[in-house]
Chains A and B, each alone.
Chain A
């Protein structure tokens, strides 16, 4: 049901019945290693190109999610997913082997929540029984597309972020008594593209912050909720700079979220000593942390209601070279759990 202009309430409460989260070597050394279902020791993952390794991450994440949900792929109606690489080929190639009817979506690093919102809407409206959704990214594949070759010795500024190698996939299903204990999706707000005129591709957090702030503000306005409704508000990959800026922006708009309730996936993944500059980024940043870490925390009862805001910078290497500014987007999905 639509509320306001861009928000949905899901009165039938679709549930996340299972997740599959895979990661690479850098994530293995990170803070959240035990929240991953499968971790690879090197970036190649036994494949002969980074793009194939990227596809493998998605393949495995889907397989694990299906296994945990005790479903076969024939039972799944749709797959809604995407990634960052040219024409989202890794996801499409994974969809080829999965052979499930497929929506390919691109929302840069906001893909995870875009997929989750769409999947929830379809399930809520009786459009499907099971949907697999998620997003993925691969550090080396993204580096070579958006920046320089992996082994190139250029210096990255402290505002740069580290692309996560990983995939986070979830299976969304209709609510029934079997799943009453599972986390359910209650609302979503679709963001609009916002461009605040920043053009530095090595400072994505700063560019994406206004989009995140706007979506959070819209969400509160349209759903009538406020930050006290949630135990936790988590953003996708804003990093140090973006997170501080969003807090500032929201303060100036009269939304006073306490610092400890406002986390960023990009700052949760890695240890302090890992050389990631301002934090993690990439489509897998929000997907792996939310589907891996945060849903587990909800199952343990640490959080009851969380608002996930995944942010994406809608740039391409070409627009950067043509000196265009970076348009950004953010989507918010609220996940709750019955006590």
Chain B
């Protein structure tokens, strides 16, 4: 049964059901996401300056170790069972920063530990994050392709 060919009975029921459905508190969720996401990014910024002050990294090169450190933090929090609670509270606020990506990889790895290292952890680790990687790389490719074509045609006049 497809989504579009609903019988009148089904449509009527859908209407009735929606009266009782608890609505998602969108505005509240947005505000929570803003603050939690902002806090995570502020921590990331602090880590970044930490690398600049105490190690030989510039603002540009510090981003790599910063990302690694943030993922390390999210790994610890996921392992301690804190990150999923944070996720329920903050929604996109904890899912969009790189820590959310780390969480999706690590939670899958923990989950499938019982099926062994090769087929369990190895095979399922990127169950959720795999599509992020795939479409991230693909969209980067498309954007780079468009940029190259534009520069070729217009001789870099847009720079």
Residues of A whose CB lies within 8 Å of any CB of B are 48-51, 144, 148-159, 195-199, 203, 206, 209-210, 240-241, 244-245, 248-249, 275, 278, 323-325
Instruction: Knowing A154-B95, A197-B7, A323-B3, say if A148 contacts B21 (CB, 8 Å).
Output: no
Residues of B whose CB lies within 8 Å of any CB of A are 1-3, 6-7, 9-11, 13-14, 16-17, 19-25, 29, 78-79, 81, 83-88, 90-92, 94-95, 100, 103-104, 106-108, 110-112, 114, 127-128
Distance between Cα atoms of A158 and B107 in the complex (Å): 23
Distance between Cα atoms of A128 and B24 in the complex (Å): 50
Further contacts, 8 of them, CB under 8 A, given A151-B81, A206-B21: A151-B78, A152-B84, A152-B107, A152-B128, A153-B94, A155-B29, A155-B88, A241-B20
Shortest distance from the beta carbon of A102 to any chain B beta carbon, whole Å: 25
- The answer on a CB contact under 8 Å between A157 and B17 is no
Give the chain A neighbours of B111 by CB distance below 8 A: 144, 149-151
Shortest distance from the beta carbon of A42 to any chain B beta carbon, whole Å: 11
Instruction: Knowing A148-B107, A148-B128, A152-B103, say if A241 contacts B81 (CB, 8 Å).
Output: no
Give the chain A neighbours of B84 by CB distance below 8 A: 150-154
Max chain B Cβ within 10 angstroms of own Cβ: one of A150, A195, A278, A323: A150
From the candidates B1, B20, B81, B128, name the one contacting A206 in the complex (CB within 8 A): B20
- The answer on a CB contact under 8 Å between B88 and A152 is no
Give the chain A neighbours of B94 by CB distance below 8 A: 153
- The answer on a CB contact under 8 Å between B17 and A209 is yes
- The answer on a CB contact under 8 Å between A244 and B81 is no
Give the chain B neighbours of A210 by CB distance below 8 A: 13
Main secondary structure of the interface of A (DSSP, over half): loop
Distance between Cα atoms of A195 and B1 in the complex (Å): 10
Distance between Cα atoms of A158 and B78 in the complex (Å): 23
Give the chain B neighbours of A152 by CB distance below 8 A: 84, 87, 103-104, 107-108, 128
- The answer on a CB contact under 8 Å between B13 and A241 is no
Nearest CB in chain A to that of B87: its residue: A153
From the candidates B10, B24, B108, name the one contacting A197 in the complex (CB within 8 A): B10
Instruction: Knowing A158-B24, A203-B21, say if A48 contacts B114 (CB, 8 Å).
Output: yes
Distance between Cα atoms of A278 and B24 in the complex (Å): 12
- The answer on a CB contact under 8 Å between B108 and A149 is yes
- The answer on a CB contact under 8 Å between B21 and A153 is no
- The answer on a CB contact under 8 Å between A197 and B13 is yes
Shortest distance from the beta carbon of B64 to any chain A beta carbon, whole Å: 24
Give the chain B neighbours of A195 by CB distance below 8 A: 1, 10
Distance between Cα atoms of A156 and B87 in the complex (Å): 9
Distance between Cα atoms of A315 and B51 in the complex (Å): 50
- The answer on a CB contact under 8 Å between B17 and A198 is yes
Distance between Cα atoms of A156 and B95 in the complex (Å): 13
From the candidates B22, B104, B107, name the one contacting A150 in the complex (CB within 8 A): B107
A–B Cβ pairs within 8 angstroms, 29 of them? A51-B114, A148-B128, A149-B107, A149-B112, A151-B103, A151-B107, A152-B103, A152-B104, A152-B128, A153-B78, A153-B84, A153-B88, A153-B100, A153-B103, A155-B29, A155-B87, A155-B92, A156-B88, A157-B24, A158-B23, A196-B9, A197-B10, A197-B14, A198-B14, A240-B22, A241-B17, A241-B20, A248-B20, A324-B1
